[in-house]
Structure 1
C-alpha cells in the first residue's frame, strides 16, 4: 500500500513535467554501494551495475525496462583499484578495471547469454614519457589516449575483444599555436590549465542531452563523428585548432579556423570559444560591448554571422536574457543587451547547440566559477557510495549526469534561439525540451536520491533511488 501511494504521488505531481514512470523495482542500495549503467544500442538493452566492497552485480534490462538477467561476482583482486570504463561487446557488458600502478587493465565480461562472468588481464605498456589525456569508448573499442611529454605524439592503447594494441599518431610535422601566438608542440597547449578544466583533459561533448554552458565553456573539447574523434582547441583567442583522427586508419589531419575579428585594445578584454554541431562549427568572440557569432563548415566557409552590441539587440533570440543562480527555480530576467555582454565578459564565454527534430537549439552566454572551494568539482550529482573513487572515471565520463547539475553553485547568464538545420531562424516561443523538464523534476523530487540520466531508444530517462521505500525508479521524459 505504501508503494502504491508513492506511485500515485509521483504520477500526479509529475504530470506537469510530462514524464512517465516506466518502472519501479524493489532494490536495496546501501550507502556503501556505488551504481552506474551502460547501454547496448545495437540490441536495446541496459546493464545496471552495483558495486560494493566485496561484490559486483549486474542487472540486464530489455527495451521496456523489464529485468532479464541478474549476474553477481566477487570484486577483482585488491590491486585493481578503479573502474576506468564500461561498455558492451557482442551483447555482453564489459567493465575495464585498472590497477594502482596503472600498468594493467582487467577486462571483466558479463555474458548474459551463458550466465557467467569472465575476466582477462592485459598488460598496459604506458611509458614514463606518456601522460593520459582521454579515456573513451568509440564503436565498442575502449581507448586510453596518451601524449608523449614535450611532444606532439599521441598514443592509442585500444582494447577490443579482450585484446590490446597500441597505435601511434605522430603530429610532429603539424603546426600548433599557443596562447602567445607562437608555434608550439601540442604538449604545452594541453598542459595549460584553464578556469574550468584541468591540464591534459578534453571535455567530451555529445548530443545525448543539450550541453550546458558550463560543460561547453571548456577550451578543449572532444566530439565523436562515426569513426572519427575530433579534438578542438580554443586556447588561442584568434583561432580554433581542430585535430580530426580517423580511428580506422589511425591517421590525423590538423586545421585551424580564424575566430571572428574584434579589434583589441588595452581597455577591453576579449575572449572566444567554439562548438561543433552536425556539420557546422560555431565560433564566438566578445568584449564588454560587442559580440560576433559565426557559423562555418569545416572548410572555413562562412554560413551565417550574427552580431550583438550594447546598442543593438540580438535579433534572433527566442527567449529573454536569463540569469540562473544555482538552480532552475532561482532565475531572473535581465532587461538589456549590454547587461548580457558585460556579464559574459565578467564570467567565462560559452555557447552550445543541440540538434533535435530537425531543429537546432542554440544557447549563448557566460558562466561563473564554481562558488565552492574546489574549482574542478565534478559537475554531476553524487552517484557513488562509500567505495569512493572506484567509479570516479565513470562519473566523470558520464556526460548527461554531469550535465544535470552543472549549473549548481554557479551564476549563468544566457539567451536561447531556435534555427532550422541550415541556421535560418525560427521565430516564436521556444518549446521546453525533455531535458529542461527533467532538470525541473530532479530539483523538485529531492526524495529521489543519487540520480542518473541517459538516452535510450531516442527517449530521455531519469533513474533514481528511493531509500525510504527501497526501490529504484526509471522515468521517461517526452517532448
Structure 2
C-alpha cells in the first residue's frame, strides 16, 4: 500500500510541477493528530495582504501574508462555542481581520478577531437574537460587515452593520412601495416570494428560504445556480435575484447609500399553466430559461432596458442544434456518465427537476450550460452540506459561506446535473467546436491525480485561481496557481 501511495504521489508531483506553486505552509502551530477539516482565505483588496485560516475542529489557525508572500504573523484561536459553525463574512481594518459566525438556526451570532499586529485573538458573542425576522446573507466590504435580514411577511430589509471599533448600527431598507406578484398575479410580501418562488401552494414555511451566493465570473454549474434566490456580491453592494415562474425580480442594493432599486424582467413565454424556470446574471445581462415537459425557452436580455438579444424556443420533437455536447446525465462520478438521445427525455427532466442556467466567458465567447438537478439533497456535491447549499470540507467542520468561488468549484467538480453545454459568440450566434477547458477543469484534473486532498479551497487572487489543500503526509498546506 505504501508503494502505491508513493507512486501516486510521484505522479501527482510530476503533474503539478507544471503549475506554479504559490505557497507551502507548515502548520507548526498544530498540536496532536487532529485532522485539518477546513481552510479558507480572506483577501485585503487595499493592501494586497491575504490570510489563510485552518480549522481542525479544536482550534483555528491564522496566517497572514504580504503581497510578496512573506509571512507577517501566525497564531491560533480557541474559537467560539461549537454551535457557531458557519462563517458568513469578515471585516478588515489594517492587520485586524474579524470573522463573523452564526449558529445553524440562523438566530445567534458571534465573531473571532485575529489581530495580526498584536498576535492576539478576541472572541465575541453578540447580545441580540433574530426574532420574527430571517437571515438573508452576509456581505463583506473592507472594514464593514453587513448582516442582512428580512422581517416576517414584509418588504423590508434590515442591515446590521458591524465596523471595527464602532458600535453596531441597524439600518432599514424599505421596499413597501414595491409590488411583488405570485404566479397567479396576486400581490404578496417579498419575504413570501423569496420563500415560495411565487408558488401559491408550498410545503413547509411560507417565510424561510435559501440563498445561493454566486461568483458570476467563475465557471458555475447548474447545481450552484438552480436555487430560486441568488446573491451576486459587488464592490459596493449586491444584487438579489428572485425567480418566479414568469419573471425574475432583481433587487440591486447599495450598502453605501442604503438604497435599493427593484426591477423585474419577463421570462421566455411558454403556453402552459405551470412552467419551471430560472435565471443567471453575468455583467449587464440576464440569461433566462423556462421549460415544461413539452417545450423549452432560452432568452438573453439586458438588465438596464430589458432588450432581448437572443431567443430560442424548442419543442420535444425538435433536435437541439445549438448544443456543443450531447445531452449529458451525470451522478457525480464519471462511471455514472450517460448520454440522452431524445430531446423529449431532456425536457421531462427540465420540467420537473430543479432547473438552472449558468454562463461563463471565454475569449469573448459565451459558454452556456442549461439543465436541471434532481432534488436528492439540496446542493448534493461532496463539498456541500445537504439542505443548505454551501461548500464545506467534511462533517463537523466549519461551513464557509462567504466564498462563492469555492462553492462554484465544489458544484462544478461534482455535478449531478442533466445538462447541455453551448458555445455562442459575442452576438449570441451559435459556434461549432468543443467546449473550451477552464481553470476549474484544470484544477479538477490536478485534484483527481492525488489520492487525498483534505481541506480544499479555491479562491481568486489577482487574475489567477488559487487551489489549496492540506497534505497530511507532509503536514503542510499547499497552494498552486492556475
79 and 377 in structure 1: CA distance in 2 versus 1, 3 angstrom threshold: closer
| Structure 2: distance between partners of 1:98 and 1:261 | 41
Deviation of the 1:446 alpha carbon? 3.1
168 and 308 in structure 1: CA distance in 2 versus 1, 3 angstrom threshold: same
Deviation per CA, 1:391-441: give whole Å up to 9, x if none: 33x2x3432333334378874111112234443444322211111222343
* Equivalent residue number for residue 259 of structure 1: 267
356 and 143 in structure 1: CA distance in 2 versus 1, 3 angstrom threshold: farther
Q: Does 1:331 align with 2:337?
A: yes
345 and 192 in structure 1: CA distance in 2 versus 1, 3 angstrom threshold: closer
| Structure 2: distance between partners of 1:382 and 1:445 | 19
SS for the counterpart of 1:169 is strand
The answer to which of 145-154 and 69-78 deviates more is: 69-78
Aligned residues of 1:326 and 1:407 also touching (Cα < 8 A) = no
1:82-121 matches, within 5 Å, as 82=85, 83-97=87-101, 105-106=110-111, 108-111=113-116, 114-117=117-120, 119=122
* Equivalent residue number for residue 26 of structure 1: 26
| Correspondent of 1:172 among 149, 165, 176 | 176
TM-score of the superposition, structure 1-length normalised?
A: 0.84
| Correspondent of 1:370 among 361, 368, 376 | 376
Aligned residues of 2:353 and 2:374 also touching (Cα < 8 A) = yes
| Structure 2: distance between partners of 1:444 and 1:171 | 51
Which runs of 5 or more structure 2 residues have no equivalent in the other structure?
none
SS for the counterpart of 1:288 is coil
Aligned residues of 1:36 and 1:48 also touching (Cα < 8 A) = yes
| Structure 1: distance between partners of 2:124 and 2:189 | 34
| Correspondent of 1:434 among 439, 451, 459 | 439
* Equivalent residue number for residue 210 of structure 2: 201
| Structure 1: distance between partners of 2:336 and 2:23 | 31
SS for the counterpart of 2:171 is strand
Aligned residues of 1:71 and 1:110 also touching (Cα < 8 A) = no
Q: Does 1:280 align with 2:289?
A: no
| Structure 2: distance between partners of 1:263 and 1:70 | 62
SS for the counterpart of 1:44 is coil
* Equivalent residue number for residue 472 of structure 1: 477
Q: RMSD across aligned C-alpha pairs, in angstroms?
A: 3.5
| Structure 1: distance between partners of 2:210 and 2:379 | 21
Which runs of 5 or more structure 1 residues have no equivalent in the other structure?
none
54 and 12 in structure 1: CA distance in 2 versus 1, 3 angstrom threshold: closer
| Correspondent of 1:351 among 344, 357, 373 | 357
Q: Does 1:238 align with 2:246?
A: yes
TM-score of the superposition, structure 2-length normalised?
A: 0.83
Deviation of the 1:8 alpha carbon? 4.2
* Equivalent residue number for residue 63 of structure 2: 59
Aligned residues of 2:96 and 2:113 also touching (Cα < 8 A) = no
Q: Does 1:417 align with 2:419?
A: no
Aligned residues of 1:369 and 1:410 also touching (Cα < 8 A) = no
| Structure 2: distance between partners of 1:43 and 1:359 | 33
Deviation per CA, 1:138-196: give whole Å up to 9, x if none: 3552111111122111100012233332110111111111244310111222333889x
Deviation of the 1:203 alpha carbon? 1.1
Deviation of the 1:340 alpha carbon? 2.3
SS for the counterpart of 1:469 is coil
Deviation per CA, 1:366-396: give whole Å up to 9, x if none: 11123699993455665257xx36x33x2x3
202 and 137 in structure 1: CA distance in 2 versus 1, 3 angstrom threshold: same
| Structure 2: distance between partners of 1:410 and 1:427 | 24
420 and 373 in structure 1: CA distance in 2 versus 1, 3 angstrom threshold: closer
Aligned residues of 2:215 and 2:408 also touching (Cα < 8 A) = no
| Structure 2: distance between partners of 1:146 and 1:372 | 22
| Structure 2: distance between partners of 1:329 and 1:88 | 45
Deviation per CA, 1:37-74: give whole Å up to 9, x if none: 2222333333111345664421123446x451332244
1:298-317 matches, within 5 Å, as 298=303, 299-317=305-323
62 and 377 in structure 1: CA distance in 2 versus 1, 3 angstrom threshold: farther
232 and 102 in structure 1: CA distance in 2 versus 1, 3 angstrom threshold: closer
Aligned residues of 1:107 and 1:162 also touching (Cα < 8 A) = no
